[in-house]
Structure 1
Amino acid sequence: MPQYKAPLREIRFLVHNVLDFPAHYAASGHAEVGADLIDPVLEEAARFCENVLAPSYRDGDEIGTHLVDGRVKTPDSYKAAWRGLTEGQWAGISSDPELGGQGLPHSLGMIFHDMAESANQPWCALFTLTQGAVRAIEAHADDSLKQKYLPRMIAGEWTGSMMLTEAHAGSDLGLLRTRAEPADDGSYRITGEKIFITWADQDITDNIIHLVLAKLPDAPAGPKGISLFLVPQVLVDEQGNLGKRNSVSVAKIEEKMGLKSSPTGVINLDGAVGWLVGKPHNGLAAMFTMMNCARLDVAFEGMSLAELSRQGAVEYARERLQMRAPSGAVYPDKPADPIIVHPDVRRMLLTQKALVEGCRMLGYFTAMQLDTSLHGEGEAQQKADQLVALLTPICKGFFTERGSEVADLGIQCFGGHGYIREHGMEQIARDVRITRIYEGTNGIQAIDLMRRKVIGSDRRLLDLLLEQINSFCAANANHQQAGELVGKAAAVAAQWSELTDQLIAGGRLDPALPMSAAFEYMEYSGYACLAWCWAKMAVVAADMLAAGQGDAAFLQSRLETAKFYMARVLPRTESLRASMMAGPETLSGMEDEQFFMP
């Protein structure tokens, strides 16, 4: 199993040199969060993730979670890790101080997520789901619900879950059948069955606060008839004391490909007591407060598990001795050279590095926009809202697709040793696979990007991002060391814009055209964004080298990786472009019965 080590040098480079978090915080109402606070938070987060959380990852996969007498039993190491989380006050890192949170910027909390997801992604869902539920309750519930439930959720005493999916409905939530009947005391009685519910039961905390989508008796048909309800697993009296267990039960724990230690259950609600969150029939909008944040969380899951895989692959490639380098012995004192000298292994390791580190910068940039979206004002807040809306499906889809790719490359670097359990690389591949499905499959993310964010805004959201990219490229077009890299970023941004115009125009004649290209468009968008990210990192690294600042070897690695990305990864956009332009007829020519004809 790879021993996770937080990539603090890279994180500090992004936070201080490339993205300038302190200046961002000063401009967005967090002037007190400077480098003197950021660095200790990063160091403490690294210590918790490396020393407390990471050791439980393999343990969780081997022990798993089990249903015992109707309750979910978790590994003991998971309980110890949760105690460490609450004692370190990480559970409320970005929550309102008036409710017991630390009040740090959301982007700093996302960096903690980045480290924690690498250390133990299955465990982290317990934490991220709780944070998402907190955000939804903060944004939409009345004050009495907020005061009753949020302080103990923020403290980590209670956790949260999200109950959306039903067997017959899947991603079409308008078809859900769970019903909510009003009671005389202002509460509701909720009845139905939910599936694929993560961490809806556990033996780690005393209570779980479920957010449940259901329909009132007078609900209109479809998505506009959905309401959101807060349903505690254990009822709470007016003094905050725990009472009897609510009518929420686990019918089944799913047996899954991965995430063995993260319970996914079929949940029955049999007249469970709940309270309306927000307005009647407005539940989908309220739930999207949780889901949109969760989609960025899942993007980080894909990226962070990719980080763990690449760390394992690099360590193995440095130690595993096999044959000699093509040009002759690099380590003549050893019986063979380590495999890291072989071109094909270097190709795999550089691909991992370019994708993981490029995604990390784009993820951190997106988290900064979320800061401004949540706490900014006026035009700045509006622009940040729009950038978050555009970048969320790109990050979720692209990061998780690349997460699977990087995990697969990690196994390949190990050869046969990667396929067996001993080294832990296969666990990463199993665990990361769900991220392409979680919180809306990547096909749904692609449709959302194309239909709602690009066509729906008449490309206004894209132009907002392209304005930033083009401004950077114009300012650095003649950069002495990185100008060529900047030029490649500018070229793919221009082609991205041209492709968008072609798809929008074609869609007016045939609506199937942009939908047939949606997945490739999402992928193309991710590669184009990473070209900008790597060009920006290259410019900063080159300037620091010229000024004699920082670690020269580390900064040089930025430049070399940027060159590799532009030369060996970015050309993937050409095949994606050709696929997009092939047209919808390549998908529609066959009759349904012809897909398989025994």
Structure 2
Amino acid sequence: MNAYQPQPAEQRFILNQVLQAAQQFAALPAYSDMDEDLLTQVTDEAAKFVGEVVAPLNRDGDEVGAQWKAGTVTMPPGFRDAYQAFWQAGWPSLACATEDGGQGLPAVLEAMLYENLSAANHGWTMAPGLLHGAYECIKHHASPALKARYLEKVATGEWLATMCLTEPHAGSDLGLVRTKAVPLPDGRYALSGTKIFISGGEHDLTDNIVHLVLARLPDSPPGPKGLSLFLVPKFYEDGARSAVVCERIEEKMGLHGSPTCVMRFDEAAAWIVGEPGKGLNAMFIMMNAARLHVGLQGIGLLDAAWQKANAYAQERRQMRAPGSASRAGEADPIHQHPAMRRVLDTQRAWIDAGRVVAYRTALELDTLKQHPDAARRDAAQRWCSLVTPVLKSAWTDQAFTGASACLQVFGGHGYVREWGIEQVVRDARVAMIYEGTNEIQAIDLLVRKVLPDGANALQTLLAELAAELGDSPDAERTRQAMAGFAQFTTGQLLPATQAAGASPELPYGLADDYLRALALLLMAWAWSRVAATPQATSPRWSTAQTGFWRWVWPEFQTRMAIMGASLDAA
């Protein structure tokens, strides 16, 4: 099947018409001169680069894959040339500060770019996917000397970066990390240990790689508070190679174009980043930025699956569709069959609503950094804190299940490699796992963010969203659902978790359903916003909107019923 093709006009419709980004940019001094002409130029050129340069490499990335030999990784054909063109054209530096070699553009443009990249070639996109997080980490925590040496190289993408957290015995529980950092006489540290699942730990895309590594200083306390963050490059300034070795790359279900490396640090000389024992504080800057981009991966991969399935359904003819005007004995495109329309319209509803939520999140990140009013920055922080785990979890879940549903549209043809849909299913699966598993995202939302403050932040967020809606029946339905969700949280869930003798496991068992219900509320808000946009009258938007209310929204009541039954049983 044809390679993925970005649709920048549809993305801009959501950004400009639904979210009215220009009004938000006007309140941010750094972006007050942003206009639709500039947005159009950037998004069109980004779409052109993705469609013409990156997307055609996807098949070879999967079939040839990254190759390891004696500690060296060779990337699939065309990957290095594409990446060199990518950074030299300035794409990695879109949202980086101009004083660091960046272009100083809003984060939402970077978000739209990476959505398209993930859809077009997820394996290739894994290489630059951590750049912005590494940039923010170095910018806010590194010493002036380290910034002078590494910040611009990472900001521009001339050098790629890794995030070295996981060890064979320490996955989500980073407090178990054993990698050691021993002080050296010259002020550096000798890193010793093994890290696994390191995306892009070794490759030939760039001339250097900057590793950011969690390790433990001598006599540091056990657990996460004893971790510090260190920087060690593949090559030092004098050209000497560091004692960092790629022992092998993993043979994976998908993402064959991205080398997932086992990295061994043999007393590798490194510099500390930030304060001793504050490594997780610095690393979380990378992780939080990554979680937004993983949510965007889910949206992009689901769109890639939908594009393939929709094109196939328009051409494939099988039987007469119910109510068809075709003559007896004729076959209709399977797109006309209700079972296939349900699959396609459901995924389209998730994609479009996901873009509204993700672009709004990126706009809130810009607001958090740039807005002069403290109250508005607080509101932006509230959005990012509550919505980011929902975006990461719900849309990566849907990317996998929705891509599988799109494979079903192909019937037996979907199960063979020729059509490319099975690759999307395989590539999408990992997004539910990395950057904090989806179960951890749900726990983070309910146990760490909603319950501790008595759901005050959640209630405030829902009230703000309800106030944005108009007077349509769908808007009123959404407002009522938001009120019911808030009432369930404060009137049933909170009391149940605080009651004498309440099981401490209770909120953990409900967390997945709670996050999914909130995701559906955000979708209802998004579609109510789309419906209120005068330009959203074409069949393109009305079909997806109808699909949401008919096929997706009923799940909200199902999730609420499951949680209610769980509370009753407890």
| Same fold at TM > 0.5 | yes
From 525, 531, 543, the equivalent of 1:538 is 531
Counterpart mapping for 1:276-355 below 5 A: 276-330=272-326, 335-355=330-350
Mapped contact 2:342–2:547 kept (Cα < 8 A): no
Q: Which amino acid aligns with 1:440?
A: G
Corresponding residue pairs, total: 564
Q: Is 1:574 equivalent to 2:551 in the alignment?
A: no
The answer as to whether partners of 1:137 and 1:146 remain within 8 angstroms in 2 is yes
- Counterpart selection for 2:385 from 370, 389, 399: 389
Rate the CA distance shift 1:361–1:245 in 2: closer, same or farther, 3 A. Answer: same
Q: 2:506 aligns with which of 496, 513, 534?
A: 513
Check whether the contact 2:215–2:230 (CA below 8 A) recurs between aligned residues. yes
**C-alpha distance in 2 between matches for 1:376 and 1:334:** 64
CA distance in structure 2 between the partners assigned to 1:265 and 1:105 by the alignment? 32
Identity rate, percent:
40
Are the aligned partners of 2:493 and 2:567 in contact in 1 as well (CA < 8 Å)? no
Tell me the distance in 2 between the aligned counterparts of 1:324 and 1:380: 56
Letter in 1 for 2:519: G
Aligned position for 1:368:
363
SS in 2 for 1:55: helix
1:172-571 matched pairs, under 5 angstroms: 172-237=173-238, 243-330=239-326, 335-377=330-372, 378-473=374-469, 476-477=470-471, 483-501=472-490, 502-509=492-499, 510=502, 511-540=504-533, 543-544=534-535, 553=538, 556-571=539-554
Superimposed CA distance per residue, residues 96-118 of structure 1 (whole angstroms, 9 cap, x where no aligned partner): 11111111111111111111111
Tell me which amino acid in the other structure corresponds to 2:479: A
Deviation by residue 1:417-453 (Cα, 9 ceiling, x = unmatched): 1111000000000000000001111000000001111
Q: Which amino acid is the alignment partner of residue 532 of structure 1?
A: W
State the shift of 1:209 in Å.
0.3
Match of 1:12 in 2: 12
Task: Write the distance in 1 (CA, Å) between the matches of 2:192 and 2:567.
Answer: 43
The DSSP-based 3-state class of the residue aligned with 2:566 is coil
Separation (CA, whole Å) in 2 of partners of 1:585 and 1:27: 48
Match runs of 1:29-48 below 5 Å? 29=29, 30-48=31-49
- 2:76 paired with 1:75: yes
Residues 516 and 329 from structure 1, CA distance in 2 versus in 1: closer, same or farther, beyond 3 angstroms?
same
Q: Which amino acid aligns with 1:508?
A: Q
In the superposition, relative to structure 1, how do residues 334 and 19 fare at CA in structure 2: closer, same or farther (>3 Å)?
farther
Whole-angstrom CA distance in 2 between matches of 1:146 and 1:418: 49
State how far apart, in whole Å, the 1-side matches of 2:146 and 2:10 are.
41
Q: Quote the offset at 1:252 in angstroms.
A: 1.7
Distance in 2, Cα, partners of 1:565 & 1:256: 34
Residue pair 1:503, 1:513 contacting (<8 A) in 2 also? no
CA distance in 1, matches of 2:182, 2:329: 74
Distance (Å, rounded) in 1 between the aligned partners of 2:323 and 2:169: 60
Q: Is the 8 A contact 2:130 2:163 kept in 1?
A: yes
Structure 2 counterpart SS, 1:6: coil
- Tell whether the 8 Å contact from 1:2 to 1:309 is kept in structure 2 after alignment: no
SS in 1 for 2:91: coil
State the Cα deviation string for residues 487-521 of structure 1 (Å, max 9, x = none).
22112211221221121221112232221100110
Separation in 2 of the partners of 1:244 and 1:584?
Answer: 61
Aligned partner letter, 1:393: P
Look up the SS of the partner of 1:193 in the other structure: strand
Query: Aligned-pair distance for 1:72?
Result: 0.9
Q: CA deviation at 1:585?
A: 9.4
| CA RMSD across the alignment | 1.6
- Asked if structure 1 preserves the Cα contact closer than 8 Å seen for 2:179 and 2:194, the reply is yes
Contact 1:516 1:580 in 2 (8 A): no
Residues 388-420 of structure 1, C-alpha deviations (whole Å, 9 max, x = no match): 011110000011011112101110111111111
DSSP-derived class of the 2:317 partner: coil
Aligned counterparts of 1:409 and 1:337: Cα–Cα separation in 2: 20
SS at match of 2:258: coil
The separation in 2 between residues aligned to 1:70 and 1:212, in whole angstroms, is: 19
Distance 1:462 1:246 in 2: 47
CA distance, structure 2, for counterparts of residue 51 and residue 440 of structure 1? 33
Q: Is residue 485–residue 562 contact of structure 1 (8 Å, CA) maintained in 2?
A: no
Matched AA of 1:336? A
Encode CA deviations 1:55-110: one digit per residue, 9 max, x unaligned.
01111001001111211111121112102212321011111111111111111111
**Higher mean displacement: 29-38 or 452-461:** 452-461
Q: 2-side partners of 1:350 and 1:413: how far apart?
A: 12
- Map 1:149-164 → 2, pairs under 5 A: 149-164=150-165
**SS of aligned partner of 1:56:** helix
**Runs of 5+ consecutive residues of structure 2 not aligned to the other structure:** none
Of stretches 4-13 and 278-287 in structure 1, the one that deviates more from structure 2 is 4-13
In the alignment, the residues of structure 2 paired with residue 329 and residue 63 of structure 1 have an alpha-carbon distance, to the nearest angstrom, of: 47
Q: Is the 8 A contact 1:106 1:370 kept in 2?
A: yes
State the TM-score, normalizing by the size of structure 1: 0.92
Which residue identity does 2:73 align to in structure 1? V
1:96 aligns with 2:100: no
Distance 1:72 1:488 in 2: 54
What's the offset of the Cα at 1:335? 4.6
- Once the two structures are superposed, residues 346-402 of structure 1 have per-residue CA deviations (whole angstroms, 9 ceiling, x without a partner) of 111101111111111111111111111223342211221121011110000011011
Q: Deviations over 1:218-263 (max 9, x none)?
A: 31121111100011111124xxxxx111010011211111111111
Q: Contact 1:53 / 1:119 at 8 angstroms: preserved in 2?
A: yes
SS at match of 1:76: coil
Bigger mean CA deviation after superposition, 214-223 or 267-276: 214-223
Query: How far apart are residue 329 of structure 1 and its match?
Result: 3.5
Q: Is the 8 A contact 1:131 1:160 kept in 2?
A: no
Query: Aligned partners of 1:396, 1:407: CA distance in 2, in Å?
Result: 16
**Relative to structure 1, is the Cα distance of residues 252 and 486 closer, same or farther in structure 2, using a 3 angstrom cutoff?**
same
The AA in structure 2 aligned to 1:319 is: E
Preserved CA contact (<8 Å) 1:309 1:425: yes
Q: Is the 8 A contact 1:257 1:430 kept in 2?
A: yes
CA distance in 1, matches of 2:269, 2:457: 42
Q: CA deviation at 1:296?
A: 0.8
Cα 1:11/1:180, change in 2 over 3 Å? same
* TM-score, normalization by structure 2: 0.96
Structure 1: runs of 5 or more not aligned: 238-242, 478-482, 546-551, 588-598
User: Corresponding residue for 1:591?
Assistant: none
Q: Tell whether the 8 Å contact from 2:15 to 2:356 is kept in structure 1 after alignment.
A: no
